[in-house]
Structure 1
Amino acid sequence: MLPSCNSAQENNNTVAKDVTVVETVTDAKTRVLLRAQSALKTFDDQSKILLSFENNDRTKWTNLPLGIVQRKGISIGDMTNSQRIAVHKLLSELLSSKGYLKTTGIMHLDNILEKHFNVPHLKWSHKQYYFTFWNTPEKDTNWGFKLEGHHLSLNFTYADMKISSTPLFLGTDPAEVRETEYAGWRVLGEEEDLGFLFINSLNETQKNKAVLKDKRVPRDILTNPDAKQRLTAFWGIKASELNKEQKTLLKIIIEEYVHNLEHSLAHREIEIIDNAGFNNIHFAWIGKTQRSDNYYYLIHGPTFIIEFDNSQNHIHSIFRSKTNDFGKDILKDHLKNNPH
C-alpha cells in the first residue's frame, strides 16, 4: 500500500535534508554511512528490510529469478519513490558510473524479458530485485546490504570504517539482444570484447598455454552459489610470460571488473592485486577463440578471482576476493582489534 501524501512528503523532505548533509562530506566511507542511514529512515516499517547481521542469508547469494528462489528484504516494486531514490543514491556512492549503469541495465533487461519473452512462472521485472540491510548502519557496528535479483548480486559489508565489496556478480540474458527494438544492446559487451582481444593477442605458443583444450565450456561460472569449494588451481598462462602490450591488455580487463566500484574502493582493490604481484596472475580460456556464444575465461590471482562465462548468448560474470567475500577479512580484523 502506498503511503499517504503527507507521509510521502515527509519522507521526501527527510531524504532532501539528508542529501544536503551528505553533499557536504568529502570522506567516501562517511558518505556511504550517511547514505545508508538516510535510506533506512525512509522505511517506517523496517521489519522486512532490516535483518540481523548474523542472519545466514547474509553470506549466501544467487542470481536466479524470483519464481525459482525466494528472497529476503523488500523488492524495488514494493518501495515508494522516495525509498527507491534513497537506495539508488546509496548505490551511486559505492559503484562507479559504469558499474551503476551496468547494474541498472541488467535490471532493465528483465523488463525486456518480461515484455517480449515472458515465461509465466518466472517473475522477470526490475521490480523483482530485492534490497536488504544487515544490521542498522552505524559507525561502530558491523553492517551491510545486499541488492539481488535475476543476474545481479551486490554484497557490501562495512566494519571499522572499512568496506568489503565482494562477491560482485553481474550477468545478462541475453548477452546480446538480437530481436525487438533493443536489438544490438549488450550490457556486458566490454568484458566480452576485451576477452577476445586479449586471447587473440597471444602467439601460438602462448595460446597453447592459455587455452584449456581438455576442458569443456562450463554452463556457469565455476564459483557459482552451488559450487562446493573455491578455485584453488592456477590454470592457463602466467602474466610473467606475457609481453608488455599483453600485460597492459590483461590489466585493462581486470580494471573493467574492479572499476565497477567507485574510485577509492576500486583503487584499493587494484593496490591489493598489485601488491600480491601482477606477474603471478594467470589467464585461462575454454572454447573457441573466434566469436561464438559458447566460451569461458578465468583470471586468477593470489588475492582475487574473475570469471566470465557465455553459454548460449547468456553471460555470467563475477569478481570476488579470495579472503574478503562478505567482509571476512575486515570482520576478522575487527574481532582482533575489538575483542568481545
Structure 2
Amino acid sequence: MTNDGRNGGKPTAPPAGRERAAAAMSKAAATWLGTLSREQLLFALYESPLDPAAEAERLRWYYTPTHHGGLAIREQTAYQQSLAMQLVATGLSEAGYATVATVMGLENILDQVEGWRVDWGRERGRDPGLYWLRIFGRPGDPVWAWRFGGHHISLNNLIVADRVVSTTPCFIGADPAKTPLLGGSLHPLGGIEDQARHLARTLSAPQLRQALLHPSAVSDIVSGNRPRVRHGDTMMHMQDLWRGSFTDPALARLVDDIDRRAEEGSGYTEEDHARVAITVPPRGVSARDLDEEQRQGLRRLLSLYTGRAPEDLAKDHGAHYASDSVLDEVHFSWVGSLEAGQPHYYRLHGPSVLIEYDNTQRHANHAHSVWRDPASDFGLDVLAEHRARTAH
C-alpha cells in the first residue's frame, strides 16, 4: 500500500505528490545534517540502504523504551532539535505530527503515573528527549531513508529516485491512553479507538461471529516489531521487543514480570494466541459482507491510519480505498470486549494493509497502534526492483 504502486493493484500517487514529499524530506534532512558536529554525525548518519549492514539496521525497529539507534533529541542543541522535528513533520500530516508530538510529551505524564521510579537502565526512564533520528544514505541520493523513533513512536521512510515509496511500518502508541485535563481529557488515539468500536457495534450477529476472533483481548499487537509479517505470526512477548537483552538482572526481571502480568491478565495460552494469529487469507469479516454504511465506516477507519502520511500520500490512499474491489479485500476483526474502557484489540487486514490496535495493559489505559503494508513494509519490494535494474 505504501510502495510506488507499479504492481499488484497497489495505489499509485500522482508523481508530483510523492516527489513533492521527497523534496521536502530531502531539504529538511540536509539542513539538519548540516548543523551537526562530526561526533553527532557518527550517530545520525548511516550508510545507504543499499549497504547490507546499514539495511539490517534500518529494518530494526522498536516501540519499547529501548535504544532505537541514531542521534537522540536530548543530544542536540535547541536549534538542531527544531530542525529534527521539522524533518519529522515532513513525514506526517498536520494531524499526524500533532499526535506524534503529543505522544512524546506523554513521557512526562507516564513518569508521574509510575511514581518517577522506572529507569530502564538510564538516567531517566521516561524521557521525552530519548527519541532518535537516523538517516541512511545522503538526502538526494538515488536511494536514502530516514527513521525516527522512541517509546511508542516508530516512523520509517524510504525514498527512491526522488520519490517517497514507503512510510511503513508506522507505529504510534499512548501511555496513558487517556489522562485527565482541566475541564476535559487527553486521548491521542481516542478517534481510532472510537471509530473501530462504532463499526464493530454496527455488525449484525452473523457478521460479529465472523469478526470476533476471541472473547478476551490479546495483550499486545500481534505483529510486534518484526521487519516482515508472515502467515502464522503470533504475538511477540515483551522480552523480544528490545534492542538486545538486559545485563542488569533487575531490569530483566522487570520485563519478565510485565510480560507475566500481561499474560495472566489476558489468560492466553498458546492455543489462544493461535486463534488470533495473523493469517493469509485474513481472518474476520470481509468488507464485501458489509452493508454500504458499514463500508463507509471501514473507509473512515482506514483513513484515520493512512491519514498519518503527508497529505499528498494520504489523498492517494483515500482514492485507493474508494474502489469497491480494493475495499472488498480488507477484513475487519475484533478481539475482547466491545465496552468502552475494557481491554480490546482490532485488526484490519488485506493484501497491502495490516492495521492493528490494542488497548489492554494498565487496565485498558495503554494503547498501541500500527499501520503496515505486508507487501511493501520498508519499501523492500521497490528496493529489490531498484537493485535488479541497477545490477544490469
Q: TM (normalized to structure 1)?
A: 0.85
Shift, 1:182, TM fit: 9.4
- Aligned partners of 2:216 and 2:227: how far apart in 1? 17
Asked if the contact 1:160–1:334 (Cα under 8 Å) also holds between the matched residues in 2, the reply is no
1:88 alignment partner in structure 2: 85
1:255 alignment partner in structure 2: 303
Shift, 1:313, TM fit: 1.4
Shift, 1:271, TM fit: 4.6
Alignment of 1:282 onto 2:334: no
What are the residue-to-residue correspondences of 1:157-196 with 2, within 5 Å?
157-163=158-164, 164-178=166-180, 184-196=185-197
Kindly tell me the number of residue pairs found equivalent between the two proteins. Answer: 309
Asked if the contact 2:131–2:151 (Cα under 8 Å) also holds between the matched residues in 1, the reply is yes
2:31 alignment partner in structure 1: 38
2:239 alignment partner in structure 1: none
1:11 alignment partner in structure 2: none
Shift, 1:339, TM fit: 2.2
Higher relative contact order (CA 8 A, sep 6+): 2
What are the residue-to-residue correspondences of 1:190-269 with 2, within 5 Å?
190-213=191-214, 216-225=216-225, 229-230=229-230, 231-233=278-280, 234-269=282-317
Q: 1:297 aligns with which of 346, 358, 375?
A: 346
1:337 alignment partner in structure 2: 389
Q: Report the identity percentage.
A: 28
The residue matched to 1:292 in structure 2 has which SS?
Answer: coil
Shift, 1:119, TM fit: 2.5
Q: 1:29 aligns with which of 8, 22, 28?
A: 22
1:104 alignment partner in structure 2: 101
- Aligned partners of 2:313 and 2:98: how far apart in 1? 17
Q: For residues 227 and 211 of structure 1, do their structure 2 counterparts lie closer, same or farther at Cα, with a shift above 3 Å needed?
A: farther
Shift, 1:29, TM fit: 2.3
2:369 alignment partner in structure 1: 317
What are the residue-to-residue correspondences of 1:122-141 with 2, within 5 Å?
122=120, 123-138=125-140, 140-141=141-142
Shift, 1:227, TM fit: 8.9
Structure 2: state its 5+ residue gaps. 1-18, 231-277
Asked if the contact 1:62–1:225 (Cα under 8 Å) also holds between the matched residues in 2, the reply is yes
- Aligned partners of 1:226 and 1:281: how far apart in 2? 21
Shift, 1:314, TM fit: 1.0
CA deviation profile, 1:65-118 (whole Å, cap 9, x unmatched): 1xxx33321111111111111111112222111100110011000011224432
* CA RMSD, 1 decimal: 2.1
Q: For residues 307 and 222 of structure 1, do their structure 2 counterparts lie closer, same or farther at Cα, with a shift above 3 Å needed?
A: same
Q: For residues 228 and 44 of structure 1, do their structure 2 counterparts lie closer, same or farther at Cα, with a shift above 3 Å needed?
A: closer
Runs of at least 4 residues off by over 4 Å? 180-183, 226-229, 271-276
* Letter of the structure 1 residue corresponding to residue 391 of structure 2: P
* Letter of the structure 2 residue corresponding to residue 204 of structure 1: A
Structure 1: state its 5+ residue gaps. 1-25
Q: TM (normalized to structure 2)?
A: 0.74
Q: 1:51 aligns with which of 46, 67, 79?
A: 46
